[in-house]
Amino acid sequence: MATNFLSTANPFVPSSSSTRVYYNPIKCSVKRELTLCKGCNPHSPIVTKRGLSISFLTSFVLSLAGKNANANAAILEADDDVELLEKVKRDRKKRLEKQGVISSSKQETGYLQDLVYKLSAVGQALEKNDLSAAGSVLGGGTDTEWVQRANIAFNKLSSSPEEMTEVDTFNSSLASLISSVSKNDVESSKIAFVSSATAFEKWTSMTGLASQLKGL
């Protein structure tokens, strides 16, 4: 029976003369790739010449971009330095011109010194709620001689819109002060006095006269 089984098994084995070989492209391709990658780390990236070229080009471009950015920053910084230097020169020139005007305005500086004394006397009177004493210093209105002289000095020594704004605030507050004192309104008088004195102090600071006047 064993001989019969072997003899009957022959038909299942193709003879050499009738053997056909079928080419499987997918199988061959897989086999080829496995052969090429044999011995390589499967987790390592595949490095190609094209990849190296792209990486080098990217690094080069980024390097140039960084250099350009640094160069542009240096140019902007230089421009800022030049602009700052020009501003310092303009400010210094303006201060020198202002000092020259102040030095040649002894009479106007005297008017302002008198204004300081007047405001100081009024402030002391208001601290004591003595509106009569404050009124005798202020006078009956803004047309008094000391007020007119102070405005002559304001107009000559003011050189900017900001300074003239403080002058307007001073005159407006001074008018309110004189009116409140004449009405015996202590609280309103004190408020108006603080407003006028503050505006005057700001103006002297802007014009550089604060150090020229005594009592500030």
The per-residue pLDDT for 48 is: 59
Predicted local confidence at residue 209, as pLDDT: 92
Domain membership of residue 33 (yes or no) is no
pTM recorded for the entire structure: 0.58
Asked whether residue 147 falls in the same domain as residue 191, the answer is: yes
pLDDT tens track for 121-179: 999 999 999 999 999 999 989 999 999 999 999 999 998 999 999 999 999 999 999 99
Residue 11 counted as domain residue: no
2 is a domain residue: no
Q: What is the pLDDT of residues 172-196, one digit of tens each?
A: 999 999 999 999 999 999 999 999 9
Is residue 77 located within the same domain as residue 123? no
The rounded distance, in Å, linking the Cα atoms of 125 and 131 is 7
Residues 143 and 192 in one domain: yes
Q: Is the residue at 200 inside a domain?
A: yes
Q: Is residue 87 part of a domain?
A: yes
Does residue 199 carry a pLDDT above 80? Answer: yes
At 125 the pLDDT is 98
Q: What residues make up the domain containing 144?
A: 106-207
Contact of 169 with 199, CB cutoff 8 Å: yes
pLDDT value of position 98? 67
CA dist., res. 94 & res. 206, Å (int): 12
Last residue of a domain, one of 104, 124, 149: 104
Q: How many domains does the chain have?
A: 2
